[in-house]
Structure 1
Amino acid sequence: MSIAMVALHIRPARREDVDALVDLNRELLQFYGVQPPFPRVDMIRRLKAELFVEAPTVEVMLAFAGDEAVGMLAFAEIYAVAVCRRSLFIQDIFVSKTTRGLGVGQALMLELAHIAEQRNAFQIDWTADLWNEEARRFYETLAPVLKAEKMFYRLAGANLRQFLDGAKPPRRATVR
């Protein structure tokens, strides 16, 4: 498919897009060499329950070439307490293999920049895997500031369980 031959449009994901969203999500997982954590029917149910509610914790934009979903960007709005300003954080950005290099990722990022402007968010943050050279080259075209002084941490799975099981209650602070 050539994007030049088909109009590209971006919009928030809707409930009726959940099948396309699952397809893109499964392609994303395949790209990372990860098996889907749930059968397709469970993914559909979970996405409907989390994304298409009154106050979702994450928002998803879909890029369409004609009627085909060819890219997605999942993000959340957070509030940076230290500077008293809104910020956007990209959870995932993914473009289908069939349309990579054709401007879909750029269009998704530009749409998110417009959303940031509309919401008075002062920054957009995201992470990238060190091994994903293609993504890193793309991100460099956006002229971001690489925050090399930051490290990314995660508690998940067994580590999260171990922390929960082994955590000691905080000592009582003495207020003077």
Structure 2
Amino acid sequence: MTFGYPVIDIVPATRDDTPLILQFIKKLAEYEKLAHEVVATEDILRQTLFDGPRKYAEVIIAYCQRDADGPRIPVGFALFFHNFSTFLGRPGLYLEDLFIDPEFRGLGIGKKLLTQLAVIAKERQCGRYEWVVLDWNKPSREFYESLGAVPHAEWIIHRVEGASLDTLANM
């Protein structure tokens, strides 16, 4: 029994989950103090995750139930996609976002989401599974490291976006 929620399910998101996915994205952005950066809409997410010619990412959603017949409560999500390691010659799995509603943290839901992604990575013959975490987010960093994740501080993320992306594309 997990604090009154003995049933925890992790399921792939569907097109009908688009409003829920956007809600989780906005909650995560608030937690990270980046709400002002969210420009995603339900239409954009539907197009890029479900309806377009290419699915750019996938989502799994965590649900809790007090009992098998009770209502399913969506409590968290993970959004991920494939990258590629030239050194390994294999695809990798990249976790872009993971979020659990605060009142459901500490119940093992984050671990279940991360474990499910590890299973997916193994099934798809990925050579690695990685993500980044904000340097100030000590609880998350400690949690990830307790699961065997190793920080790679020598790698510095570089990003081109917005006007800089436009400028680079037009050179």
TM range (shorter): 0.7 to 0.9
Tell me how far apart the structure 1 counterparts of residues 151 and 23 of structure 2 sit (CA, whole Å).
31
TM-score w.r.t. length of structure 1: 0.83
Task: Give the Cα separation in 2 of the matches to 1:37 and 1:115.
Answer: 28
**Corresponding residue of 1:25:** 25
Percent identity for Structure 1 against Structure 2? 28
Partner in structure 1 of residue 46 of structure 2: 48
Contact between 1:3 and 1:65, CA under 8 Å: does it hold in 2? no
Counterpart Cα distance in 1 of 2:125 and 2:169: 36
C-alpha contact 2:26 2:38 (8 A) present in aligned 1: no
1:50-65 counterparts in 2 under 5 A? 50-53=48-51, 55-65=54-64
What residue number does 1:5 align with? 4
1:37 counterpart residue number: 38
Look up the equivalent residue of 1:137 and give its one-letter code: E
CA RMSD of aligned residues (A): 1.9
Q: Point out the more displaced range, 27-36 or 110-119.
A: 27-36
Pick from 111, 114, 117: which aligns with 2:116? 111
One-letter amino acid of the structure 2 residue matched with residue 90 of structure 1: L
Give 5+ residue unaligned stretches, structure 1: 168-176
Report the secondary structure of 2:54's partner residue: coil
**Distance in 2 (alpha carbons) for counterparts of 1:97 and 1:58:** 24
Letter in 2 for 1:123: R
Give the TM-score normalised by the residue count of structure 2. 0.85
Give me the whole-angstrom Cα distance separating, in 1, the residues matched to 2:153 and 2:36. Answer: 30
- 1:109 aligned partner, one-letter code: L
Larger Rg: 1
* C-alpha distance in 1 between matches for 2:163 and 2:140: 29
Give the Å deviation of 1:82.
2.8
**Whole-Å Cα distance in 1 between the matches of residues 36 and 41 of structure 2?**
13
Report the AA paired with residue 161 of structure 1: D
CA distance in 1, matches of 2:2, 2:43: 31
Contact 1:77-1:89 at 8 Å conserved across structures: yes
Within the candidate set 152, 155, 158, 1:150 is matched to: 155
Query: Runs ≥4 in structure 1, deviation > 3 angstroms?
Result: 161-165
Deviation track 1:88-133 (CA, whole Å, cap 9, x = no partner) reads: 1111111111111211110000000000110011210111110111
Deviation at 1:9, TM superposition (A): 0.4
Report if aligned partners of 1:70, 1:99 keep a CA contact under 8 Å in 2: yes
